[in-house]
Structure 1
Amino acid sequence: MWGLCKGSGSKPYRTVVDTTGPAYQCSCPSRKFPCKHALGLLLLWSDPDGPVASGESEGAPDWARTWLAGRAERTARKKAAPAAPADTEAARRRAEQRAERVSAGASELEQRLEDLLRGGLAAAEQAGYSLWEETAARMVDAQAPGLAARVRELGAIPGSGPGWPVRLLEESALLYLLVRARRRQAELPEALSSVVGARLGLPVRAEGPPLRDTWLVLAQYDTADARLTTRRAWLHGATSGRTALLLSYGAAGKAPELTLPVGLAMEAELTWFPRGTGGRAELGERFGTPAVPSSRPTGVDVTEALGRYGQAVREDGDVDGATAKLGR
């Protein structure tokens, strides 16, 4: 769809939206993506009685057709480009170096947690947040972002209200168990080792055959820090009944490339990551364009929802009873 939007200048802004992406282009100088003019066009289009109707690209003005043709050409080149040969030896060396850094970081964190408990939890409140932030930075240097995130969570507990020492002790114990598991990760069953790796923040790959279904986009939101913008989107399969989490990333201050229309459904293939990744999946091939779903997903009552949550926690933290091996 396309349109002209009157702005502050003498010439109207040229706005075009490709709903199959979705993707956007506007001649306005805004650094936000999508800009308010593209969002306004989509808002008008979402109203069934509104002035905007879907059209074919052949009826678009020249400036819209040029942009659409450029998108189609770039997509075709990307699909036709041969994959670069993988340097397996270099990849192996990088993986070994990262593994060494992660292990060193886990050992350092283990020592810091022992010092905390040896000195008493009261000292955590007196030390302030700077101690935790410095420790988290050390975990980032060790290429263990999962540990860094959990350390920052610990830093927010002291002084958070009545009962904070109990909460700090619980979370410290869980984190201590994780860093001890890293030391013995090679001895763990494969499923539990995957959980430990995911908790540490190590990269994992989607596995298994893809599942094709019509996926309803339940929700999507972004979180940002100084270096990265993370987008989370949740999907629900109309036939399979499975729920999936999709993650995409963008540089600081920029929106990730993957944008899914909340409330619409799309037919696509998903491939799941190993256990311990919070139900995360990878989006594969998409078929057709997103559309309004024919029906809502079947809901469950509170009791069944709690049961499903408990089952997910059990599978995530007690894979095939393997935590017993870790305890020994």
Structure 2
Amino acid sequence: HGTRTGRTALLLSYGAAGSAPEVSLPVGLGLDAELRPHPARPRATLGERFGPPVPVAERPPGVSLAEAAGGYGALLAEDPWLDSRPVTLDGVIPVRGPDGWQLAEPSTDTALPLPRSFTSTSGLWRLLAASGGRPVRVFGECGHRGFQPLAVWEPDADAPPLALR
């Protein structure tokens, strides 16, 4: 999430054939760097770095489930092949629904499903532990399969986000 621009991008990392991709940024660190927009919005590649990664206390602003789904729908209208978009949800609680795990928004009685590929990993248990039944802020990818959580911030804590992968 760009602290100056307010925009969120999904950082792509490439490697030449036979070599590993560039090391990705650890969760909870900020980096003063240039992002180069990728033709498939909202993706970007890392450009010039102006300093080393450092811990940040600032949390990206979160949006509602309706805003997340609406934003994905708007991007999907531009690019029908778009799989998902990066987004930070705020005020959601992980709950078990009739068809599996989901992130529910108690204030609107709405929910987004969590993909089975996530619910069969330890990331689900870290998400549940961080929430403790309370609303949390979660960063991930919103798409046609629901919401894929990547990081969570514990409520009322100044701790860095917890990686869910």
Instruction: Answer 1 or 2: which has greater strand percent.
Output: 2
TM-score normalised by structure 1 residue count: 0.22
Relative to its length, the structure with more helix (as a share) is 1
Q: Report which structure shows greater RCO (CA 8 Å, sep ≥6).
A: 2
Greater CA radius of gyration, 1 or 2?
Answer: 1
Q: Scaled by the length of structure 2, what TM-score is found?
A: 0.42
